[in-house]
Amino acid sequence: MTIHMTSPLIEEARVKISGTSAESFEMPEIGEERTYTVKAVCTTHTEQDMANEGTRRTVTMKMLKIVEGVSKKIHDAEDGQGSLIDGDGKAVDPDEEQEPDDPDAEKVTSISKATGPQFSGGDE
């Protein structure tokens, strides 16, 4: 008798979240449960042969942002600080010119040289 093992249609894995939040929250009591919404990017896939469970797949997710409760605020823009990771979880080069989300957005010219204050004493 031959047994044919087939791969599942959807690969499943357990999730491990790593990292420390940049955000601060009120400290919970030991044993207190909290609910958070987390935005994370996948950094690794691992497989481990288990004695009784077959193969256990695990993915490691690096935390990018966390908000308290179940919230759509996780999708809100950062508070003016920008992000080094785009919406697809890919690293962004801060020196590379980015396409604006809004094609009608005002074009801004960068300042190449800063000048000091102009004094009425006529320092020239």
What are the mean pLDDT values of the chain's consecutive 10-residue runs (124 residues total)? 54 89 91 94 92 87 92 78 54 56 52 59 57
Burial (CB count <10 Å: 0-12, 13-18, 19+), residue 82: exposed
Report pTM: 0.51
Look up residue 9 and give its DSSP letter.
Answer: S
Q: What is the per-residue DSSP string for 19-47? A: S--SS--PPPPTT----EEEEEEEEEEEE
Q: Determine the pLDDT at residue 2.
A: 53
Cα angle value 25/28/32 (rounded, 5°)? 135
Structure tokens at 40: 């994370």
Distances 55 to 24, 49, 108 between C-alpha atoms, Å: 37, 4, 53
How far is residue 117's CA from residue 75's CA, in Å, rounded to a whole number? 40
Q: Determine the pLDDT at residue 70.
A: 92
